[in-house]
Structure 1
Amino acid sequence: MPRIGVVGCGYWGTNHIRTLSGLGALAAVSDHHPGRADAKGREFDVAAPSFSALLADPDIDAVVLALPPHEHAAAALEVIAAGKHLLIEKPIALTVPEARQVVTRAEAAGIIAMTGHVLRFHPAFEKLLEIVADGTLGPLRYIHSHRVGLGKFHAENDALWDIAPHDLSLILALTGENPVSVRGEGAAILEPLSDFAHLHLEFPGGIKSHVFTSRLNPYRERRLTVIGEKAMATFDDMAPAEEKLALYRHRLWQEDGGWQSQMVDPEFLPLADGMPLTRELEHFIDCIRTGTPPRTPVSEGLAVIEILAKGTVRHA
């Protein structure tokens, strides 16, 4: 079992700590605030060294970075320089040059370097990928995502950078392509940074997509919709477990010079068991053990950053 250290003991870092401890892979925790790291170390019975001491420890095989996004790139370069395998939370950087440097250094070092796009490991999304691959939906034509809610206002990130990486990683996996066209729209209500953001994407194969994000919305929605020529599907992360992935076989046909439709009830598809974060960390551990390239490499994190940079709207 690889010995893994977690850097960052905030909300999401604590989830990593708890999950890795349950998997028997947690070796150390670290944080800018030593008192917070000490508390987590005592709670999970592991060491709580400084970041530099953790990197210098030859018994640490890998590092999970769960820091504020503006600290990710610099910390990742230190992890890579220390020769440790790396899982870095999204976004992996706040500029394209920084993200590209992380990718280049990781490739040169020959380490496992993975982006924390946790929804790629959600059983509902894995099943969605399966029915796309087997032709159930037919050729894809359109994908749209809505990820909206209230709160989580960050001084460094607007709604686009904070929220959209989740859905962009899913869309990139579904299309298997990088977009040829990216157009962004945004609205700043409370701060100069956008509280609402809308991305329009076009892909080489003809698929079109849009992503809508908001942190100033009166209700929560976490829904990805995929439109194919034969059927449609939705991945609704707010739905009950047994209804998260719905398949719609609505009928469409031409008659009397126009399009006709017939709606049918959705089919809720059975899903595998397991929490997305557990499945993600199990995958990271397996990649370290076997040398298999990760499903969500840092190059995918770079592709997401490139889309975000093109779609960012600047406000005065």
Structure 2
Amino acid sequence: MNICMVGHGMMGVWHSDALKDRSDAVLHTLVGRREEPTREFAERYGYRRWTLDLAEALADPAIDAVVVASPSEQHAAHALACIAAGKPTLLEIPIAMSLKEAEQVAQAAETAGVTVAMCHPMRFRRERDPLVERLRAGEEKLRHVAGRFFIPRLENIGATGYRRSWTDNILWHHFCHFIDLASFLFGDVPVRRVQSHMSGLHERTGIPMECVVLVETEAEQSFLVHGSYHASFRLYDKLLVTDRDTYLFDILENSLRTREGVAAIEDEKTNCARVTHDFVDALRDGRAPRAPAASALPAMRIIQQVQDAWDAHHGARSLPGRPGG
């Protein structure tokens, strides 16, 4: 299976590492934005060719599937281009930077009959699979989900130390992980209310740096995520409270704490590789991926409500990393 990778930042690295040792996947074409780093990455990972032109790559009949790991604001456009070319696609989170665009991507995939899988790694944690099975079977009831995400982001430098040429978004990117996980765990239970706070524009970065989202469901469940790009050190964890136990996932420490004690869990990169492998396996086996594009829409609806509340207070506008507003 010949793979086209779009983007070579941290997620381009993680997906390439996950694919390079598979006998049924070939790192065929790399698409980047700047010649020198694109060529260097392609040579380092053994891609057969590289280009700065996505349309050129998608026109190649040798390409069997695409992984979109480009900047967040390009995800929707790149996904739609892949769908139009008939190429099955693994799309990095978020699916889009607005609900309208997210719905366009999901609808286009369905209409064209093209597989679009989402990279939502929080759904793929093997340590959480038994709990998900119990929740779905009604053997355990979820009461509360909480998440914390605090990182220093006054400088536009990613987790790997790479200086980015694009700007991140705390709501549409990082909080999307948590909100999607809560939506996934709550299942079909309707949302009763969404409350939120997102700070005004920071004088140095030009983006909101803090965010808080609170969701209530009709089943008396609650979800809370809060975080800041202005933190002086990192905090990244998830807390699940059920009627049977409490599950604290510390992503930085790679640990899970329950009433039984503390156990080691897979690191983020290893867990993310499960998403990459599921995409290739789904195409090989002719099945749907575990996280199809349409399944991202419940989280997108919540995020759009938060964005709409911010727009109503501060005024809808284009922001660094979110053009068009």
What is the TM-score of this pair, normalised by structure 2? 0.82
* 2:279 aligned partner: 284
The CA distance in 1 between the partners of 2:107 and 2:222, in whole Å, is: 30
The CA distance in 1 between the partners of 2:211 and 2:146, in whole Å, is: 13
The CA distance in 2 between the partners of 1:204 and 1:43, in whole Å, is: 51
Gaps (5+ residues) in structure 1? Answer: 249-265
1:152–1:118 distance in 2 versus 1, CA, 3 Å: farther
* 1:262 aligned partner: none
Aligned counterpart in structure 2 of residue 86 of structure 1, from 62, 84, 89: 89
* 2:32 aligned partner: 31
The CA distance in 1 between the partners of 2:192 and 2:155, in whole Å, is: 31
Secondary structure (helix, strand or coil) at the match of 1:39 reads: helix
The CA distance in 1 between the partners of 2:279 and 2:60, in whole Å, is: 20
Alignment of 1:100-111 (within 5 A): 100-111=103-114
Q: CA deviation at 1:206?
A: 2.2
Alignment of 1:240-279 (within 5 A): 241=254, 244-248=255-259, 266-269=260-263, 275-279=270-274
2:233 matched to 1:219? yes
Amino acid of the structure 2 residue aligned with 1:219: F
The CA distance in 2 between the partners of 1:204 and 1:185, in whole Å, is: 22
The CA distance in 2 between the partners of 1:233 and 1:18, in whole Å, is: 30
* 2:200 aligned partner: 188
Q: CA deviation at 1:189?
A: 6.4
The CA distance in 1 between the partners of 2:55 and 2:117, in whole Å, is: 21
Aligned counterpart in structure 1 of residue 186 of structure 2, from 160, 164, 175: 175
User: What number of residue pairs does the alignment pair up?
Assistant: 294
Q: CA RMSD in A?
A: 2.4
Alignment of 1:63-212 (within 5 A): 63-130=66-133, 132-133=135-136, 138-151=140-153, 157-177=168-188, 179-188=191-200, 190-191=202-203, 193-212=207-226
Secondary structure (helix, strand or coil) at the match of 1:23 reads: coil
* 2:300 aligned partner: 305
Q: CA deviation at 1:276?
A: 1.1
Amino acid of the structure 2 residue aligned with 1:287: A
The CA distance in 2 between the partners of 1:196 and 1:93, in whole Å, is: 20
Gaps (5+ residues) in structure 2? Answer: 157-165, 316-325
Alignment check: 8 A CA contact 2:92 2:118 kept: yes
Amino acid of the structure 1 residue aligned with 2:68: L
The CA distance in 1 between the partners of 2:299 and 2:244, in whole Å, is: 29
Alignment check: 8 A CA contact 2:144 2:240 kept: yes
Q: CA deviation at 1:295?
A: 1.4
Amino acid of the structure 2 residue aligned with 1:22: D
Deviations 1:242-271 (A, max 9, x none): xx22222xxxxxxxxxxxxxxxxx423576
- Larger gyration radius, structure 1 or structure 2: 1
2:240 matched to 1:229? no
What is the TM-score of this pair, normalised by structure 1? 0.84
Secondary structure (helix, strand or coil) at the match of 1:223 reads: strand
The CA distance in 1 between the partners of 2:141 and 2:251, in whole Å, is: 24
1:76–1:189 distance in 2 versus 1, CA, 3 Å: closer
Secondary structure (helix, strand or coil) at the match of 1:141 reads: strand
The CA distance in 2 between the partners of 1:153 and 1:159, in whole Å, is: 14
Q: CA deviation at 1:169?
A: 1.9
Alignment check: 8 A CA contact 1:149 1:219 kept: yes
Alignment check: 8 A CA contact 1:90 1:116 kept: yes
